[in-house]
Amino acid sequence: MKVSILSIILAGILLLSVNSGQAESAQRNGFSIEDPLVPLEDILSGGPPRDGIPSIDSPKFVSAAEVDWLFSNSRVLGLEINGVVRAYPLAILNWHEIVNDTVGGVQLAITYCHLCGTGMAFRRDFKGTVTTLGVSGLLYNSDLLLYDRQSESLWSQVMGQAVSGPRKGEKLIPVPIEHTTWEDWKKQHPQTKVLSRETGYSRNYARSPYGDYDENGDIYFSLSFRSSQYHPKERVIGIEVNGNFKAYPFAELSQIKSPLEDTFAGQKLTIEFNLETRNGIIRGPDGEVLPSVNAFWFTWYAFHPETEIFPENN
């Protein structure tokens, strides 16, 4: 019998409601959680056990010409490092959430949380030691908690920070990544390589395990903060500058033309966006692409309730 990830999530919610009256335990999914940076009661089981959603640790790639199973509007995460260009289809990431890869000589973890709509890339070398990241099966603010297999520390994807374990408080180094359509990425980078469906696992990559989650207003897990200013699944481009946070909702960007010149936290920014593909990047004063996150509005606000919002009269 095939069981979808969504049904496992819903089963996890039911289990939480049954156990809500019991004493909290610091042992979850095999992780010992002590004095975390976030409230212990807000670290929830998403349903699957540790590594129940398996990361891809030996990824294979094919050329764009070999891909006949992606549609023009299929979503991908794309990046380019040292002349090496890669695309990671969400159709695969929905089932695996993490790809441990090496791109242009840089050891990376490509991460995706469908519940939050967040695709983010991080370096996975810690002070000269390389590790791999796995799916803990735990969530905070509906966002996946990664774990590094060397120290078994738990890391919040959106925070990019270890919230418990030996590396608690340490930050991951983010790497810019684009969240766009297959047609858009292939047009920009015809030489791109694409993550192969030969993952070593038997999954139906032609079917999303989340149904219409991207469009409906459902949020399955508790959040630290909520805002009804936009639809929960409205996409925003979020950025951090010197400890300050700002969101650029596509609902607002649709009123202007790209690129947008802005100054935030004393830094000049250029926001380049594509309304059709819901893709955007942010450049710094020297033209360099800065790490940013393409996320659902509810996600960005849950982590950053103090966020500024474009335009400023919001």
Express each pLDDT in 222-242 by its tens digit: 999 999 999 999 999 999 999
Same domain, 17 and 156: yes
Domain that holds residue 119: 5-188
Sign of CA dihedral 87, 75, 91, 114: positive
Q: Over the range 112-151, which residues count as b (16 or more CB within 10 Å of their CB) and which as e?
A: bbbbbbbbbbbebebeeeebbbbbbbbbbbbbbbbbbeeb
Same domain, 172 and 35: yes
Q: What are phi and psi of 297, to 5 degrees?
A: -55, -45
In this model, does residue 183 exceed pLDDT 90? yes
Pairwise CA distance, residues 159 & 136, whole Å: 16
Pairwise CA distance, residues 92 & 199, whole Å: 9
Mean pLDDT of 39-56: 96
Going by pLDDT thresholds of 50, 70 and 90, the confidence category of residue 312 is confident
Could you tell me if residue 198 is inside a domain?
no
Question: pTM for the complete prediction?
Answer: 0.91
Pairwise CA distance, residues 290 & 176, whole Å: 6
Q: What pLDDT was estimated at residue 5?
A: 54
Express each pLDDT in 260-311 by its tens digit: 999 999 999 999 999 999 999 999 999 999 999 999 999 999 999 999 999 9
Q: How many domains does the chain have?
A: 2
Same domain, 184 and 241: no
Could you tell me if residue 259 is inside a domain?
yes
Pairwise CA distance, residues 120 & 294, whole Å: 9
Could you tell me if residue 227 is inside a domain?
no
Task: Count Cα neighbours of 280 within 13 Å in the Cβ-side half-sphere.
Answer: 29
* Residue partners of 96: CB distance under 8 A and separation at least 6: 53, 54, 55, 56, 135, 199, 201
